[in-house]
Amino acid sequence: MSMDWTPLQNLINSYDRFLITSHVRPDGDALGSEVGMYGLLRHFGKDVCIANVSQTPPRYDYLDPDGSLFEHFGTKVQPSDLADRQALVILDLSSWGQLGDMAAFVREFPGPRLVIDHHVSQDDLGAIYLKDTTAEACGTLVLRAANALKVPVSPKMATGLLTAIAMDTGWFRHPSTKSETLRGAADLVESGAAIDDIYRLLFERNTLGRLKMMGETLASLQTDLDGRIAYATVTREDFDRTGAIPPDTEDLVDFTVSLRGVEVGLLFIEQKRGGIKLSIRSRDGFDCSQLAAQFGGGGHRAASGATLPDPLSDALPRVLAAVRHAMQN
């Protein structure tokens, strides 16, 4: 799908001080897209600041080697520090829930807001939307924006955007991977993204806590509906026992759908503040975003998530019943 990037160009023509943000618990696509957008706006001489509602997971520290790029909203930057920002660019999300504790700030932001996103679910964020739900990653859209606006892609931008696209396509394995995905990735490698280094930085720097958490997650795996559903749980005790931190659970849900015969995989993660973070993955066409929407969440057809206020003992049977119901109808 080709997109008209005029709204972004207009914003660049009209404003000087930009703020970029993305979703809670940022992943490779969120952070990598921010790095790409930062480079794009800097190319036009803009004053750019990135503020995120969650801390940057340690595995992504290579995107911000001197810790100067990603500011943590609420600790490192306060709303008053951002009072001079004229325009807001929101990446890889279109729902209030995904903004977490930054939602109030965004609601009151006086300047124009631009959303660049590829998620199906959408709230009215009072923004201009540049959205393509067929895009495999938000990073793909930022790369297209750079190309459309004739911005040369620096090695830093390329590193961010390759991270974004690789992570949202499961390192070019998911069905969302098209020939264009690989052509885009090839361009990014040509622009200076060291694909071997990026892979090693992301996947071969596990902490002992994360590996032990993988073990706990696998040990908790169970199946339902004659093996068509698989689900695993991560409890607060698992965190205490393994020494893992919340970002260490990224991608663990993928184990559930790696089991032969499974069509829907679920991972329930107990949250420190209470409630459950639910991750949903599917194979063979089951629509995860619809299921997530039943629980106030959203996402994509093959990957989605939601946050439930209930304790694990209530959330698990409730979600399982909903999945069974959806699969049997």
168 lies in the binding site for Mn ion (CB under 5 A): yes
Alpha-carbon distance of 111 to 115, in angstroms, equals 13
34 lies in the binding site for Mn ion (CB under 5 A): no
Alpha-carbon distance of 299 to 171, in angstroms, equals 19
Distances (CA, A) of 150 to 4, 9, 256, 303: 14, 11, 42, 32
**Among 12, 26, 29, 146, contact with Mn ion (rule: CB under 5 A):** 29
Q: Which is nearer to Mn ion, 158 or 165 (CB)?
A: 165
CB of 22 to Mn ion, least distance (A): 9
Contact predicate 142/117, CB 8 Å: no
Amino acid residing at 112:
P
Amino acid residing at 135:
A
270 lies in the binding site for Mn ion (CB under 5 A): no
Q: Which stretch binds Mn ion (CB under 5 A): 24-32, 56-64, 225-233, 284-292?
A: 24-32
CB of 39 to Mn ion, least distance (A): 18
92 lies in the binding site for Mn ion (CB under 5 A): yes
CB of 118 to Mn ion, least distance (A): 6
Q: Which stretch binds Mn ion (CB under 5 A): 17-25, 86-94, 100-108, 279-287?
A: 86-94
Burial (CB count within 10 angstroms: exposed 0-12, middle 13-18, buried 19+), residue 183 = exposed
Taking CB atoms, the residue at the shortest distance from Mn ion is 29
Q: Which is nearer to Mn ion, 92 or 216 (CB)?
A: 92
250 lies in the binding site for Mn ion (CB under 5 A): no
Q: Which is nearer to Mn ion, 33 or 233 (CB)?
A: 33
Contacts of 289 (CB under 8 A, 6+ apart): 120, 121, 298, 299, 300, 301, 304
Size of the site for Mn ion (CB under 5 A): 4
Q: Which is nearer to Mn ion, 29 or 251 (CB)?
A: 29
Considering only CA atoms, which of 232, 230, 212 is closest in space to residue 220? 232
Mask for 102-141, x = binds Mn ion (CB under 5 A):
------------------------------------x---
Contacts of 134 (CB under 8 A, 6+ apart): 1, 118
Residues that bind Mn ion (CB under 5 A): 29, 92, 138, 168
